Amino acid sequence: MHTPTTSAVVIDGLHKKFKGNHALQGVELEIGPGEVMGLLGPNGAGKTTLVKILTTLLKPDSGRAFVNGWNVTAEPEKVRSTIGMAGQYSTVDGLLTGFENLYLVAKLRGVGRRTARRVADDLLSRFRLTDVAGRPAGTYSGGMRRRLDLAAALVGSPPLVVLDEPTTGLDPESRLDTWEAVGELVAGGTTILLTTQYLEEADRLADRITVIDRGRVVAEGTSDELKAAAGNRLVVCVAEDRQLDAAARATAQATGATPTVDRRARRVEAAATDGQAALARALTALEGEQVEVLEIGLNRCTLDDVFLGLTGRTRREAA
Ligand SMILES: Nc1ncnc2c1ncn2[C@@H]1O[C@H](COP(=O)(O)OP(=O)(O)OP(=O)(O)O)[C@@H](O)[C@H]1O
Ligand SMILES: [Mg+2]
C-alpha cells in the first residue's frame, strides 16, 4: 500500500541482527524531498546495513522503512523503481564496456533501445567517460570505475539516490569530481542519502547529518547544529615544554574536562561547555600556576570533535 507522505524516506524503529550481532538497534530517520542526508558513523556502525534495507537488498527483522511512500518490504519493486544506488561495492561489470554497463542498466529499467543508448551516451559524457566508453570497465582506473558506478545510479533520473561511501579510496581529484556530480544532482532536486566516514564530505555536501554508532542514532542535525551542541574548545599554547603539565592542570580545573596535550605544539586543549566562563577561569588558574601563556582562546568544535565526542572514537581510530 502506498502511504501518502511528504518525506522521501521514513525509517521507523529498524532492527537487524546477524547471528547475535545487533547491527541496527531501532534506527529512526526521515529525509525530506530534495534534501541531502549525510549518514556518518565509524566502521561497523550499521551504515551499509541501513542502506541495504532501504534499497531492498536486505530485509529488516522489525521496524518499517518507506521510500517515496512505498514500504520497502511490502513493495520492493516500487521502491527499486524510484531509487538509484551506488554502493560501497561497485555493481559495475568489469567485462562489459562503460557504454554496455549503462545501456544494460537502462534496459533493466525498462526503457527502449534508442532511449537506452541516448541515456548511456549522456551519462558517459557527463562523467567524462566518453573517451573510454568502448573499453571494458575492468581496465578503468579506480576513479573512472567509481564515476561509472555513480553514472549507473543516475540512469532513469531516480528521485532518490543512495550513495554508500562514494569517495572512499578515491584520489583527491576523483573525490572532487564525485562531489561535483553530487552537487549537480542536488541542483536538479534529487534527494540523496550519502554514507561517509569523511567528516569533510558530510560537512560539505549534506544539509543534515545523522550520526550512527553501534546501530543507534546518536545525533542528528545540521553540521552547524551538531558543532554548536558540542560546545567550544579551550586552547592554550605555552612558551616552554616544562609548563605543559601545569597548563594541563589549570585547563582541567577550569573546564572540568580531561585535556589533550600536544607536546610538540606545546598545546593543551579541552572541551569547554560554558565557553567564556571557562576561559575566564582558565586565565586565573594559569596565573596561579605561573604559566607563561603564548596564546589562549575558544575554538568552535569541528565535526571531528563532534564525532569523537559522540562515538568515543576518532575516525582514524575507528578505521
Ligand atoms: N552479512 C553479515 N553477516 C554478519 N554480520 C554482518 C553482516 N553484514 C554486516 N554485519 C555486521 O553488522 C555490523 C554493521 O555492519 P555495516 O556493514 O552495516 O557497517 P558500516 O557502518 O557500513 O561499516 P563500514 O564503514 O566499515 O562500511 C558490523 O558489526 C558487521 O560486522
Ligand atoms: Mg559500509
Q: Is 311 in the pocket of ligand 1 (CB under 6 A)?
A: no
| Cα 256 to ligand 2 centre (Å) | 36
The percent of residues above 90 in pLDDT, for the chain, comes to 62
- Give the pLDDT confidence score for residue 275 in this predicted structure: 81
**What does the pLDDT look like over 239-255, one tens digit per residue?**
999 999 999 999 999 99
Average pLDDT over residues 211-220: 94
- pLDDT computed for residue 206 by the predictor: 94
Q: Is 21 in the pocket of ligand 1 (CB under 6 A)?
A: yes
Ligand 1 near 208 CB (within 6 A): no
User: Rounded mean pLDDT of 7-21?
Assistant: 95
Ligand 2 (ion): which residues have CB within 5 A?
47-48, 88
Neighbouring CB atoms inside 10 A of 159's CB total 16
Q: Which residues of 258-288 are buried (b: 16+ CB within 10 A; e: fewer)?
A: ebebeeeebbbbbbbeeeeebbebbeebbee
Q: Please tell me the residue having the least CA distance from ligand 1 atom 29.
A: 44
CATH 1.20.1050.10 fits 231-300, yes or no: no
pLDDT digits (tens, 9 = 90+) for 41-95: 888 999 999 999 999 999 999 999 999 999 999 999 999 889 998 876 667 889 9
Lowest mean pLDDT among 176-190, 206-220, 259-273: 176-190
* The 83-86 sheet, strands edge to edge: 83-86, 160-164, 191-196, 36-40, 208-213, 216-221
Q: Can you give the pTM of this predicted structure?
A: 0.81
Ranges of each domain in the chain: 9-227, 231-300
Q: Is there an atom of ligand 1 within 6 Å of 23 CB?
A: yes
Architecture of the structural domain at 9-227: 3-Layer(aba) Sandwich (3.40)
Instruction: Report whether pLDDT(96) > 70.
Output: yes
User: Does 43 contact ligand 1 (Cβ within 6 A)?
Assistant: yes
Ligand nearest to the CA of 213: 1
